[in-house]
A and B are shown apart, each in its own frame.
Chain A
Amino acid sequence: MTAVLSDLATGVTEQQVRAALGTVVDPELDEPVTDLGFVRSVAVDGGAVEVHLRLPTSFCAPNFAWLMVSDAHDAVCAVPGVERVVVELDDHSDSDLINRGLAAGLGYRGTFGTEAEDSLDELRATFTRKAHTAAMERALTALLRADPSVDLGAVTLGDLPGDAAAALRRRRAAVGLPVDDGAAVLVHDDGTRPGPADAAMVLRRARSVRISVDGNAHFCRGLLTTRYPGAEADQVPRPDDRPVLPLEVLP
């Protein structure tokens, strides 16, 4: 009851905090940490917020772990009325290092010292690019399944059904590609269009990216529920913009 009264006084709610955390994406899996079940707890007390995150293994790559934890910190800080924020990563091989660095506001380089050279911008860009490549493949493959004679190189955003177009537009915007109806869907990483002879191979390579991203997402989701029994209740099924994924989990 105290917590509820405090919430009313400051206006900060757990719902707002969770909504803010919903903008934090696992770059490798291209999904919000809230959908993946990576948010272990959210506690709100007046203007003070404490969030605990968890990952599928102790040895999940620390650079991705840092990105998610620091993004979560930034996102919660931006919620109106929030005065103090503690975000901690639990049960990770680098938990102490990351939690100390975050609490002290040391930043990426200050936290990791000699292990950090410059920034994680390039890493983030690599996976934003892969997220786009996978979305491009999903959209084109869905079209091809409906009509195998589709001219891959000629497909534009305007030709895609609403859901696929929206999912792809979001990821194109993230990598700085045009999002108008007339924009070609099949593109190289740099936005140029492959020639007719290369179109099939570009899609074929994109498929291996999509299989990899989706396969990793399912494995990580599964491992989280093995490590933290009951975590499946905190997971939201993979979104509908990825219906082509033919994965099954046997009972």
Chain B
Amino acid sequence: MYTKDGEQYYVVDAHIALWDARPENQRNVHGKQFIDCFYDYHRNLSPEAEVWDYEEYLYQGGERLMRDVFVDGIVDHAIFQPARLAEFYHRGFGQTEEAFALAQAHPEKLTYNHYWDPRDGENGLDALRAAAERMHLKGVKLYTADWHGESRGWKLTDPMAYRYLELCRELGIRNIHVHKGPTIRPLDRDAFDVADVDHVATDFTDLTFVVEHCGLPRLEDFCWIATQEPNVVAGLAVAIPFIHTRPRYFAQIMGELVYWLGEDRILFSSDYALWTPKWLVERFVDFQIPEDLTEYAPLTTELKKKVLGLNAARLYDLPVPEHLRLPEADETRTGPREPAAADLASV
């Protein structure tokens, strides 16, 4: 729980990881390139006081994760969103058993989401069934740019992916977190294209598709899809740290998301250990759209409460104290949420 100026915020960090990128786990040069890329994101977007040493960035372990994520009691609940990356790391990037054990030890604080990959075929379907039973899965994290043998990417619209989505439906796994990375195949088209989300959101209206990084670097394509599909949600991982280095850009991202999606479909995520949640929550509560960006309405306290935790709590049935709950906004299910606020004359 975070309290500021008499307001209480129930906080859910909707995207954390327990990764191991230490050299002994790196399978090849790509393992190093991958964590180096993360570390550059971290160094580029963090306030100076929050920058870690490279060594400590490689691996945190459960004890440190609990301290970092839940420091000062700000974050009420956090959700693991693991990436497998088996082609880059011997034991994978996300540490499944370590993270799942931690979630079992702290069920009130942690939810473990697992992953699947349609290229695992029939065996993968059996594995998902077993994992759902053992881990009581409410959600999965899908990384469409993961490498897999000769293949370097897949699409949600691949026929086998539909089999997995159908199984998710059957198993009650309702939250499908999608991370679009530079999918390689086919190379002919935009690797960050989010059009496949549009298709599956239409075909699986009882599932919720959380697009991580709110589609960045294709914010515009994401917004256009999400505004038409009520079961598509924006995750703020990687977008929210812009609050420090590029606050006006972050204001525009928030302004666009609120305009196209509304306040009930945006989720706070630190993307730990890319960044830690504490400073992000503190900054977000203090954040406001700059006055000269008059095309966007100011971010209300209610909106911040929803983004920081209430929206994710709804998707994951988390027990929010009665007095902190808020009703959903009385808004259109599709199309721009506040067309009247679209003051075209200002930027």
B188:A119 contact, CB within 8 angstroms: yes
With a cutoff of 8 Å between Cβ atoms, the chain A residues found around residue B187 in the complex are 62-63, 66, 108, 112, 115-117, 120
Cβ-closest chain B residue relative to A28: B217
Is A93 engaged at the interface, CB distance under 8 Å to the other chain? yes
A223:B245 contact, CB within 8 angstroms: no
With a cutoff of 8 Å between Cβ atoms, the chain A residues found around residue B259 in the complex are 204
Taking a contact as CB atoms closer than 8 A, the residue among B33, B184, B248, B347 that contacts A62 in the complex is: B184
Q: Range of interface residues on chain B?
A: 35 or more
Which 3 A-B pairs give the minimum distances between C-beta atoms?
Answer: A58-B33, A148-B345, A208-B220
With a cutoff of 8 Å between Cβ atoms, the chain A residues found around residue B181 in the complex are 59
Cβ-closest chain A residue relative to B343: A148
With a cutoff of 8 Å between Cβ atoms, the chain B residues found around residue A120 in the complex are 187-188
Q: What is the interface of chain B, defined by CB distance below 8 A to chain A?
A: 30, 33-34, 36-37, 40-41, 43-44, 150, 152, 181-182, 184-192, 216-220, 223-224, 242, 244-249, 252-253, 256, 259-260, 290, 292-293, 336, 342, 344-347
Is A250 engaged at the interface, CB distance under 8 Å to the other chain? yes
B220:A117 contact, CB within 8 angstroms: no
Majority SS at the chain A contact face = helix
Q: How far is the CB of B343 from chain A (nearest CB, A)?
A: 8
Of the A-B pairs whose beta carbons lie under 8 Å apart in the complex, a sample of 7, sorted by A's number, is A58-B36, A62-B182, A115-B185, A205-B220, A208-B219, A215-B252, A247-B248
The docked-state distance in angstroms from the alpha carbon of A105 to that of B331 is 56
Is A211 engaged at the interface, CB distance under 8 Å to the other chain? yes
B345:A226 contact, CB within 8 angstroms: no
Taking a contact as CB atoms closer than 8 A, the residue among B218, B220, B347 that contacts A145 in the complex is: B347
Known: A115-B187, A244-B347, A246-B248. A204 touches B34 (CB 8 A): no
With a cutoff of 8 Å between Cβ atoms, the chain B residues found around residue A28 in the complex are 217
Known: A208-B219, A211-B220, A215-B252. A145 touches B345 (CB 8 A): yes
Q: How far is the CB of A60 from chain B (nearest CB, A)?
A: 7
Q: What is the interface of chain A, defined by CB distance below 8 A to chain B?
A: 28, 56-63, 66, 93, 108, 112, 114-120, 122-123, 126-127, 130, 141, 144-145, 148, 152, 200-201, 203-205, 207-209, 211-212, 215-216, 218-219, 222-223, 226-227, 244, 246-250
Known: A115-B184, A226-B44. A61 touches B252 (CB 8 A): no
The docked-state distance in angstroms from the alpha carbon of A248 to that of B188 is 34
The docked-state distance in angstroms from the alpha carbon of A110 to that of B223 is 36
B40:A218 contact, CB within 8 angstroms: no
The docked-state distance in angstroms from the alpha carbon of A113 to that of B252 is 40
With a cutoff of 8 Å between Cβ atoms, the chain A residues found around residue B248 in the complex are 246-248
Known: A62-B184, A226-B44, A248-B246. A212 touches B190 (CB 8 A): no
With a cutoff of 8 Å between Cβ atoms, the chain A residues found around residue B192 in the complex are 61
With a cutoff of 8 Å between Cβ atoms, the chain A residues found around residue B184 in the complex are 62, 115
With a cutoff of 8 Å between Cβ atoms, the chain B residues found around residue A127 in the complex are 190
With a cutoff of 8 Å between Cβ atoms, the chain A residues found around residue B245 in the complex are 222, 249-250
The docked-state distance in angstroms from the alpha carbon of A228 to that of B186 is 30
Additional 12 contacts, C-beta under 8 A, given A200-B344, A208-B219: A28-B217, A61-B191, A63-B191, A93-B30, A123-B189, A208-B224, A212-B218, A215-B249, A216-B217, A219-B217, A246-B293, A247-B248
With a cutoff of 8 Å between Cβ atoms, the chain A residues found around residue B346 in the complex are 145
The docked-state distance in angstroms from the alpha carbon of A17 to that of B344 is 43
Q: How far is the CB of B288 from chain A (nearest CB, A)?
A: 15
Cβ-closest chain A residue relative to B221: A212
With a cutoff of 8 Å between Cβ atoms, the chain A residues found around residue B185 in the complex are 114-115
The docked-state distance in angstroms from the alpha carbon of A66 to that of B191 is 13
A59:B33 contact, CB within 8 angstroms: yes
The docked-state distance in angstroms from the alpha carbon of A60 to that of B188 is 15
With a cutoff of 8 Å between Cβ atoms, the chain B residues found around residue A63 in the complex are 187-188, 191
Known: A60-B182, A116-B186, A203-B344. A249 touches B219 (CB 8 A): no
B344:A250 contact, CB within 8 angstroms: no
A115:B152 contact, CB within 8 angstroms: yes
With a cutoff of 8 Å between Cβ atoms, the chain A residues found around residue B41 in the complex are 223
Q: How far is the CB of A61 from chain B (nearest CB, A)?
A: 4
